Chains A and B, each alone.
Chain A
Amino acid sequence: MAMSMGGGGGSIADINVTPMIDILLVLLIIFMVIVPVTPKGLDALVPQPPKTKQPDENKIDRTIVVQIFYHGNAAPTYKINETDYAKAELLPRLTDIYANRAERIMFVKGEDKIDFRYVAEVIDIGRSAGVDHIGLMTPRILAGQ
């Protein structure tokens, strides 16, 4: 790593390569860490108000609504349509329901005071069960606006 000064045509300095390589490696590592962080998420749909006010009887039978109920600090409880299910039962039940369906649509309705993570969990369970369209029921949708 000696510097050779002087000589033939003026001063020629050898660049000290080792620290430069260190720096380049650090840069490389930094970019390797940064790049893979692509945002991830759960896709959900927001139902738009129906054009006709007449509900389709056929569809009502087939609609699956998962409800999440608030219980203070205790864990929330879940319902699929009108039946209570424990959280662990949701996935097998939903998988069962959607096993031989062509249109896999699920609605999620949470009480206002629950944490968002419980809703995200239910959407996640729905995804695990193979549901491909998940609709979020919000107060104004329920009010028909």
Chain B
Amino acid sequence: MVDVMLVLLIIFMVITPMLQNKVVIDMVAVVNPVAMPDADKDDAIVVAITKSGDVFLGQNKSAIDVLGNQVRDMMAANPGSKTIFVRADARAEYLAVENAIDAVRTAGVEDVGLLTQKREGNPAAGGSY
């Protein structure tokens, strides 16, 4: 009985962090990314762009025309952060990414962190250029 409860507990503990990143993004794998621990913070502004070009601000679906204002409001509520993070799908059209960056640029963002994965595995097979 107790075992079952604990197993359930463990299962939920595993699932919860996965649910936080609701937007499923297949990120680009690159050779030399830098660690961006700030992107994990609660107040980080993360713009996600899916393969189909949909834009998400945090967990919520947004639109390009309102994204700029939303980001401006978020930055006004939380001054000091001038960086936003873009989680773009590897196969997303670059236009969608450009539009999102243009939208947040008007909000005064100068620094964009393009979230990626570290490319693992055999360097000879495409790990280096």
Contacts and interface: CB of A to CB of B under 8 A. Distances in A.
A115 B30 contact: no
A139 B39 contact: no
Interface stretch (B54-62, B73-81, B103-111): B103-111
A115 B34 CA distance: 22
A50 B109 CA distance: 15
Given A91-B129, A124-B31, A115 B116 contact: no
A41 B97 contact: no
A19 B105 contact: no
Contacts of B39: 39, 41
Contacts of B43: none
Interface of B: 3, 6, 10, 13-14, 17, 28, 30-37, 39-40, 49, 85, 88-99, 101-102, 104-105, 109-118, 128-129
A113 B94 contact: yes
Nearest to B84: A46
B34 to A, nearest CB: 6
B112 A44 contact: yes
B89 A40 contact: no
A74 to B, nearest CB: 15
Given A128-B129, A140-B105, A41 B95 contact: no
Of the candidates A39, A45, A123, the one having the most CB atoms from chain B within 10 angstroms of its own CB is A39
B101 A110 contact: no
A88 interface: yes
Nearest to B26: A117
Given A30-B14, A113-B93, A42 B129 contact: no
B93 A46 contact: no
Nearest to B97: A116
B49 A116 contact: yes
Given A117-B91, A127-B32, 19 more contacts: A34-B14, A34-B17, A39-B85, A40-B118, A41-B36, A42-B30, A42-B114, A43-B36, A46-B105, A48-B105, A90-B129, A110-B94, A112-B94, A116-B89, A116-B92, A119-B97, A123-B30, A124-B30, A124-B33
9 contacts: A19-B3, A39-B85, A41-B33, A45-B110, A87-B129, A117-B91, A118-B94, A124-B33, A128-B31
